[in-house]
């Protein structure tokens, strides 16, 4: 049981290191605004997160609800120390990864806000300011209607 948990935590640590590298690469691609590369990276990141979640679930199942640090305290000193050290490494890697993911999210939202503002600015230049323009049906659109009839049309 100890070996399974240790191996799973080791895989989690390596996966989190890879995830941090992918998130750093995503940040650099976001700065370059390469949408195709971002989409590919997002797929890889999501798959890696799924695998990390599977490893975490395996540890929880193996321990049957016991916490890793509680289990480590029940082990001989050498094994317990090794498991605690690895657990701290995993925890630190998770925190670093979360910081990078938060940084990427903030940058993405800033780009979205910038794009939205640019779109609004462009739209305001395209939309006519005068209301006396043609509608999509080819009719003259005016708010002021002439009270006198200029042309009568209809059926008899």
The answer as to whether 156 is a domain residue is no
Q: Is the pLDDT of residue 137 over 70?
A: no
How far apart, in whole angstroms, are the C-alpha atoms of residue 17 and residue 15? 5
For 86-116, write each residue's pLDDT tens digit: 999 999 999 999 999 999 999 988 888 888 8
CATH of the domain at 104: 1.20.58
Domain count, the chain: 1
Band the pLDDT of 18: cuts 50, 70, 90. Answer: very high
How far apart, in whole angstroms, are the C-alpha atoms of residue 11 and residue 85? 14
The answer as to whether 136 is a domain residue is no
The answer as to whether 139 is a domain residue is no
The answer as to whether 70 is a domain residue is yes
Helix, strand, coil percent content, the chain, rounded in steps of 5: 75, 5, 20
The answer as to whether 143 is a domain residue is no
The answer as to whether 101 is a domain residue is yes
- Print the domain residue range for 22: 2-128
């Amino acid at each position: 049981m100890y070996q399974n948990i240790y191996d799973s935590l080791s895989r989690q640590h390596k996966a989190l290191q890879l995830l941090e590298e992918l998130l750093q690469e995503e940040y650099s691609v976001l700065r370059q605004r390469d949408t195709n590369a971002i989409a590919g990276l997002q797929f890889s990141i999501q798959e890696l997160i799924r695998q990390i979640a599977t490893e975490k679930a395996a540890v929880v199942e193996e321990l049957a609800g016991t916490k890793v640090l509680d289990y480590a305290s029940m082990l001989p000193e050498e094994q317990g120390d090794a498991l605690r050290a690895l657990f701290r490494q995993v925890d630190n890697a998770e925190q670093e990864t979360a910081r990078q993911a938060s940084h990427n999210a903030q940058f993405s939202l800033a780009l979205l806000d910038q794009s939205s503002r640019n779109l609004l600015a462009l739209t305001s230049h395209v939309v006519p300011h005068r209301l006396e323009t043609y509608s999509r049906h080819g009719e003259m659109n005016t708010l002021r209607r002439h009270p006198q009839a200029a042309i009568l049309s209809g059926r008899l």
